[in-house]
Amino acid sequence: MQVDIKYNPSYALALVTLNMGEKIKAEGGAMVSMSSNIQIETHKAVKKNGLLKSLKSSIFGRESFWMNTFTAQTGSGEVTLAPTLPGDISSLSLNGTMFVQASSFLAGPDDLDIDTSFQGMKGFFSGESLFFLKLSGKGDLLMSSYGGIEVVEVDGSIIVDTGHIVAFEEGLTYKIKKFGGWKSFLFSGEGLIMEFSGKGKIWIQSRNVTSLSGWLSKVLPPRSS
């Protein structure tokens, strides 16, 4: 398998070349194009103890988390993938376990284990929610972001706004907190933060979807009843 990322960081597109028999698993709706010799199979994401149950649209932005598996049947073939939001795509070689924000998972190896039992904290007052996928396996992993992606090497501790987290490595520990005191939490516009400790990598995005939706709600005309 070969992955080539183009047009990043603003409107990234992943070109995935599969040799005969190779497969890649991608989120539903991510496919832009594919070779005629590529076979597609649609299924719900799975975890260790069975099929993933339907999740509320407030978590994934849709009723359930559907996946597509692409297989090159005869000779090599190409699949192009892109996220819904404008931003970057990061490709890395997964060898173990990572936690990835649900909306940032784009694609991974066919045998990738996706465990949805790990859930963060739903924010009171702020309306924020955290939901990460626990991804375990070995192979090429594609993650997307809203805006550009910055990789932060942590050796000690760091505080990150929850809306800017794309992924983090398994070795890091964290605490979920409100931003500052109650006055800061309610009026600063920051909401919830995650304080990471230990040694490892965090992938952060330069833009925040929650902030975007808040801005749009102010400038768009109200819905008519």
pLDDT tens digits for range 17-54: 999 999 999 999 999 999 999 999 998 765 444 434 43
Range name among 111-115, 119-123, 125-129 with the lowest pLDDT average: 125-129
More confident residue, 91 or 125: 91
**What is the dihedral sign for C-alpha 117, 118, 124, 127?**
negative
86 found inside a domain? yes
Q: How far is Cα 29 from Cα 14, in angstroms, rounded to an integer? A: 14
Q: How many angstroms from the chain centroid is the CA of residue 181?
A: 30
The pLDDT value given to residue 11: 94
Contacts of 220 (CB under 8 A, 6+ apart): none
- Band of the pLDDT at 219, cuts 50, 70, 90? confident
**Range of the structural domain that residue 7 is part of:** 2-218
- Band of the pLDDT at 221, cuts 50, 70, 90? confident
224 found inside a domain? no
Count of the separate structural domains present in the chain: 1
pTM (2 d.p.): 0.81
Contacts of 68 (CB under 8 A, 6+ apart): 25, 26, 27, 28, 30, 31, 40, 41, 42
Report the residue count for the chain: 225
For the chain, the distance separating the N- and C-terminal CA atoms, rounded to the nearest angstrom, is 52
Share of the chain above pLDDT 70, in %: 75
CATH number at residue 45: 3.60.160.10
Nearest Cα to Cα of residue 39 among 77, 11, 89, 96: 77
Nearest Cα to Cα of residue 191 among 173, 213, 169: 213
The pLDDT value given to residue 225: 60
209 found inside a domain? yes
225 found inside a domain? no
The pLDDT value given to residue 217: 73
155 found inside a domain? yes
52 found inside a domain? yes
95 found inside a domain? yes
